[in-house]
């Protein structure tokens, strides 16, 4: 699956592919999307979280990001709460350091708005491709006449 990850400073890492087979938590996220579950939460701590971080660090881009975070004086957290809001094309992962049950509705609403925006983006891409194809066909007709 393709991932876009925001850095702590608010900038974005380049998109990268992450396999779901290497990590039980990523497999569960994908399964929740396949089943059409709207929202799931996972409290990661202790050895489970350390194993998750070890898996993530097998990706050079993420390992580099972790190194930068640590070098800037921010230790790796002992606990993370992962809030996964699914939509038709994927899911959004919101990570916090403590539980925020009061934000669950906000996360789900954000995923719905994101889905509408992403669907519109895909529609525009399709329309642009159709317009380019029509231009090519028109140019070919002009050449053949």
Residues across the chain:
145
Given a contact cutoff of 8 angstroms between Cβ atoms, the answer to whether 65 and 82 are in contact is no
pLDDT of amino acid 61:
86
Residue 3: predicted pLDDT? 83
**pLDDT exceeds cutoff 80 at 68:** yes
Q: Return the pLDDT at 108.
A: 97
Q: Tell me the per-residue pLDDT of 34-58, one tens digit each, with 9 for 90 and over.
A: 999 999 999 999 999 999 999 999 9
| Residues 117, 122, 124: CA angle, nearest 5 degrees | 95
Whole-prediction pTM = 0.83
- Phi, then psi, of 86 in degrees rounded to 5: -85, 150
Q: What is the chain's mean pLDDT, rounded? A: 91
Tens of pLDDT, residue by residue over 87-133, are 999 999 999 999 999 999 999 999 999 999 999 999 999 999 999 99
Q: Domain-by-domain residue ranges, the chain?
A: 2-144
Which helix (H) or strand (E) element contains residue 120? helix 104-144
Higher pLDDT, 144 or 44: 44
Measured CA distances, 116 to 2, 93, 129 (Å): 19, 17, 20
Question: Residue 16's pLDDT band (boundaries 50, 70, 90)?
Answer: confident
Residue 18's pLDDT band, with cuts at 50, 70 and 90, is confident
Give the count of beta carbons closer than 10 Å to the beta carbon of residue 83. Answer: 23
Give Cα 76 distance to the centre of its chain.
Answer: 20
- pLDDT for 55: 92
Give percent above pLDDT 70 in the chain: 98
């Amino acid at each position: 699956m393709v991932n876009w990850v925001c850095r702590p400073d608010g900038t974005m890492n380049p998109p990268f592919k992450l396999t779901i087979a290497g990590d039980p938590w990523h497999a569960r996220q994908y399964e929740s999307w396949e089943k059409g579950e709207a929202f799931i939460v996972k409290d990661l701590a202790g050895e489970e979280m350390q194993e998750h971080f070890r898996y993530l660090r097998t990706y050079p881009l993420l390992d580099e990001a972790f190194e930068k975070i640590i070098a800037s004086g921010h230790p790796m957290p002992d606990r993370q709460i992962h809030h996964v809001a699914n939509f038709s094309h994927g899911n959004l992962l919101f990570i916090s350091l403590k539980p925020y049950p009061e934000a669950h509705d906000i996360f789900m609403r954000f995923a719905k708005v994101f889905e509408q925006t992403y669907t519109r983006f895909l529609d525009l891409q399709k329309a642009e491709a159709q317009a380019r194809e029509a231009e090519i066909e028109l140019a070919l007709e002009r050449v053949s006449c």
